[in-house]
């Protein structure tokens, strides 16, 4: 079974403290960067800023907003993908034009998507800790979607809920980037377990969240959620948003720690208003992967595409000896990954209870969420999976994937695959 720590959610009890001497040194150097004002803070995406200004007008329409979005191909693609994701597309008809997509998600939501897609491009660029930035960003996007969908029941404005959910732990992504700044200045490469890197993130992300809040001049209600998710306030909107962010973090912990999350799992999560809210989240969880994927699949900016032609930075996150546990079964399974531009073929070569080992010529990004098509006698099975590891192997790459946010039926199909049925 894949180790649960590989997907541990933010702000939860159980993070390993910074104990490794090298990690403690990195933490001190990050603190020094903060004290000197030398931490690189991500810029607020220009297109999101432009859309925010545009949407404050009373007479703005879908066509005008669509024209602004169409000037940014990456954002246009993200809006189309999200409009056709399970979160927004509850029917059988997909949005084929940008105007249709904007109409489906709504004008206010487009601004939120522009912010998430723009920040995602910056946060998830290539680097030695890219897989950790991707992990932190996945938590942020999941939180944003959960908060937005629950906002009405908490009397929180949906746009504020999305922004608060997205940014309330944004200091984590900034912390990872700060650690990369430290690594660049070091004469020797440093490799640590993921738990140690994340311990540094936990120790410093609130301090960095303060810098983000100041730099971006965020609304007071969002600053409260970003600076301290445990803050107590007499202001009802602020307290409502903070409690919503706290609940989202707990739900994400469940989603990241097990292949499938249902109402019975969520009943043990504190902070829900009632069972109706539990059932709502239970139906929402299987829709999360398509929304996360829609916001993370945007192509990198030109600078990143140019840099990608050079040798990719070597990851400095140590991998455990094995991500498989329990009984391991050999298999020969046809597997296809569909991307925006092509289909990539792999072979499934091993299966454990909650993991598949794939072999193929193309790598996958660790901690990314991808959808696979598994060839089964009962028909193709297309689960969402998280890439737990990707290592060079004989004639290609050996990739371990684990199921992510499966619905009940998909969980049954997954069990058939790993047990050799179906």
Is residue 156, in this structure, part of any structural domain at all?
A: yes
Is residue 176, in this structure, part of any structural domain at all?
A: yes
Calculate the average pLDDT of the chain: 83
What is the C-alpha to C-alpha distance for residues 117 and 226, in angstroms, rounded to an integer?
19
Count CB atoms within 10 A of the CB of residue 35: 10
What is the per-residue pLDDT across 86-140, written as a single tens digit (0 to 9) for each? 777 766 577 889 999 898 888 888 888 888 888 888 888 888 898 998 999 899 9
Q: Report the pLDDT value the prediction gives residue 216, as an integer from 0 to 100.
A: 87
Selected residue with higher pLDDT from 158 and 301: 158
What is the C-alpha to C-alpha distance for residues 75 and 115, in angstroms, rounded to an integer?
9
Residues 65, 212 share a domain? yes
Q: Report the pLDDT value the prediction gives residue 248, as an integer from 0 to 100.
A: 94
Selected residue with higher pLDDT from 332 and 230: 332
Q: Report the pLDDT value the prediction gives residue 122, as an integer from 0 to 100.
A: 83
pLDDT bracket for residue 303 (50, 70, 90) = very low
Q: Report the pLDDT value the prediction gives residue 17, as an integer from 0 to 100.
A: 63
Q: Report the pLDDT value the prediction gives residue 88, as an integer from 0 to 100.
A: 77
Domain count, the chain: 2
Question: Residue range 394-400: average pLDDT?
Answer: 89
Residues 414, 267 share a domain? no
Residues 48, 20 share a domain? yes
Residues 372, 232 share a domain? no
What is the C-alpha to C-alpha distance for residues 114 and 46, in angstroms, rounded to an integer?
9
CA distances from 126 to 305, 312, 349 (A): 10, 7, 29
Q: Report the pLDDT value the prediction gives residue 14, as an integer from 0 to 100.
A: 39
Is residue 295, in this structure, part of any structural domain at all?
A: yes
Residues 340, 236 share a domain? no
Residues 241, 350 share a domain? no
Count CB atoms within 10 A of the CB of residue 348: 23
Is residue 320, in this structure, part of any structural domain at all?
A: no
Range with lowest mean pLDDT among 13-27, 155-169, 189-203, 263-277: 13-27
Q: Report the pLDDT value the prediction gives residue 320, as an integer from 0 to 100.
A: 77
What is the per-residue pLDDT across 337-368, written as a single tens digit (0 to 9) for each? 987 678 899 999 999 888 999 999 999 989 99
> Strand pairing partners for 345?
336
Q: Report the pLDDT value the prediction gives residue 348, as an integer from 0 to 100.
A: 94
Q: Check the CA dihedral 155-160-162-167 and report its sign.
A: negative
What CATH number corresponds to the domain at position 399? 2.40.10.220
Question: Residue range 248-257: average pLDDT?
Answer: 94
Q: Report the pLDDT value the prediction gives residue 232, as an integer from 0 to 100.
A: 52
The whole-model pTM stands at: 0.85
Percent residues over pLDDT 70 in the chain = 87
Structural domain boundaries enclosing 38: 4-308
What is the C-alpha to C-alpha distance for residues 256 and 260, in angstroms, rounded to an integer?
9
The residue assigned the tokens 């028909």 is: 379
Q: Check the CA dihedral 306-309-314-320 and report its sign.
A: positive
pLDDT of residue 282 exceeding 80: yes
pLDDT of residue 188 exceeding 90: no
Tokens standing for 184?
A: 């660049």
Highest mean pLDDT among 4-8, 244-248, 309-313: 244-248
Q: Which residues contact 164 (CB under 8 A, 6 or more apart)?
A: 147, 156, 221, 222, 225, 226, 241, 244, 245
Is residue 318, in this structure, part of any structural domain at all?
A: no
Count CB atoms within 10 A of the CB of residue 274: 9
pLDDT of residue 21 exceeding 60: yes
Distance of CA 375 to the CA centre of its chain: 27
3-state secondary structure the chain: CCCHHHHCCCCCCCCCCCCCHHHHHHHHHHHHHHHCCCCCCCCCCHHHHHHHHHHCCCCCCHHHHHHHHHCCHHHHHHHHHHHCCCCCCCCCCCCCCHHHHHHHHCHHHHHHHHHHHHHHHHHCCCCCCHHHHHHHHHHHHHHHHHHHHHCHHHCCCHHHHHHHHHHCCCHHHHHHHHHHHHHHCCCCCCCEEHHHHHHHHHHHHHHHHHHHHHHHCCCHHHHHHHHCCCCCCCCHHHHHHHHHHHHHHHHHHHHHHCCECCHHHHCCCCCCCCHHHHHHHHHHHHHHHHHHHHHHCCCCCHHHHHHHCCCCCCCCEECCCCCCCCCCEEEEEEEEEECCCCEEEEEEEEEECCEEEEEECCCCCCCCEEEEEECCCCCCECCEEEEEEEEEECCEEEEEEEECCECHHHHHHHHHHHHCCC
Residues 253, 388 share a domain? no
Percent residues over pLDDT 90 in the chain = 36
Q: Report the pLDDT value the prediction gives residue 260, as an integer from 0 to 100.
A: 94
Residues 162, 250 share a domain? yes
Q: Report the pLDDT value the prediction gives residue 91, as an integer from 0 to 100.
A: 63
What CATH number corresponds to the domain at position 304? 1.10.3210.10
Is residue 313, in this structure, part of any structural domain at all?
A: no
pLDDT bracket for residue 274 (50, 70, 90) = very high
Is residue 314, in this structure, part of any structural domain at all?
A: no
Measured in degrees and rounded to the nearest 5, phi and psi for residue 146 equal -65, -45
Question: Residue range 208-212: average pLDDT?
Answer: 85
Q: What torsion do the CA atoms of 16, 20, 22, 23 make, to the nearest 10 degrees?
A: 10
What is the C-alpha to C-alpha distance for residues 371 and 99, in angstroms, rounded to an integer?
26
Question: Residue range 14-18: average pLDDT?
Answer: 54
What is the C-alpha to C-alpha distance for residues 320 and 339, in angstroms, rounded to an integer?
28
Is residue 316, in this structure, part of any structural domain at all?
A: no
Residues 194, 221 share a domain? yes
Residues 197, 136 share a domain? yes
Q: Report the pLDDT value the prediction gives residue 228, as an integer from 0 to 100.
A: 56
Residues 343, 215 share a domain? no
Q: Report the pLDDT value the prediction gives residue 355, as an integer from 0 to 100.
A: 92
What is the C-alpha to C-alpha distance for residues 118 and 224, in angstroms, rounded to an integer?
23
Integer-rounded Cα radius of gyration of the chain: 21
pLDDT of residue 262 exceeding 90: yes
Q: Report the pLDDT value the prediction gives residue 7, as an integer from 0 to 100.
A: 44
Residues 345, 296 share a domain? no
pLDDT bracket for residue 291 (50, 70, 90) = confident
């Amino acid at each position: 079974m894949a180790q649960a720590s590989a997907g541990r959610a933010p702000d939860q009890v159980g993070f390993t403290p910074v104990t490794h001497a090298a990690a403690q040194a990195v933490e001190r150097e990050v603190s020094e960067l903060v004290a000197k004002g030398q931490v690189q803070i991500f810029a607020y995406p220009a297109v999101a800023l432009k859309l925010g200004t545009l949407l404050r007008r009373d007479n703005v329409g879908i066509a005008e907003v669509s024209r602004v979005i169409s000037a940014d191909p990456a954002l246009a693609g993200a809006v189309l993908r999200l409009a056709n994701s399970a979160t927004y597309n509850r029917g059988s008809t997909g949005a084929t034009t940008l105007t249709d997509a904007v109409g489906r998600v709504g004008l206010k939501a487009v601004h939120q998507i522009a912010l998430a897609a723009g920040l995602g491009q910056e946060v998830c660029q290539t680097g030695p800790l890219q897989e950790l930035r991707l992990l932190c960003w996945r938590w942020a996007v999941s939180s944003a979607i959960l908060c937005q969908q629950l906002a009405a029941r908490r009397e929180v404005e949906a746009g504020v809920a999305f922004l608060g959910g997205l940014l309330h732990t944004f200091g984590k992504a900034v912390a990872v980037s700060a650690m990369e700044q430290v690594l660049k200045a070091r004469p020797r490469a440093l490799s640590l377990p993921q738990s140690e890197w994340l311990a540094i993130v936990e120790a410093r992300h609130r301090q960095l969240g303060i810098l983000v809040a100041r730099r971006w001049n965020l609304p007071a209600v969002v600053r409260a959620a970003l600076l301290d998710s445990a803050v107590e306030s007499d202001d009802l909107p602020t307290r409502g948003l903070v409690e919503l962010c706290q609940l989202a973090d707990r739900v994400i912990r469940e989603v990241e720690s097990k292949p499938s999350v249902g109402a019975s799992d969520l009943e043990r999560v504190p902070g829900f208003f009632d069972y109706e809210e539990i059932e709502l989240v239970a139906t929402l969880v299987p829709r999360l992967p398509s929304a996360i994927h829609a916001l993370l699949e945007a192509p990198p900016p030109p600078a990143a595409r140019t840099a990608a032609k050079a040798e990719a930075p070597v990851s400095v996150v140590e991998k455990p000896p094995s991500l498989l546990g329990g009984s391991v079964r050999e298999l020969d399974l046809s597997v296809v990954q569909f991307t925006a531009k092509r289909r990539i073929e792999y072979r499934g070569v091993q299966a454990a209870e909650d993991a598949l080992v794939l072999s193929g010529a193309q790598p996958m990004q660790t901690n990314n969420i991808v959808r696979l098509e598994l060839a089964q006698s009962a028909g193709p099975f297309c689960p969402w999976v998280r890439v737990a590891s990707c290592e060079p192997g004989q004639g290609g790459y050996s990739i371990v994937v684990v199921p992510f946010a499966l619905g009940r039926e998909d969980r049954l199909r997954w069990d058939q695959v790993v047990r050799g049925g179906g």
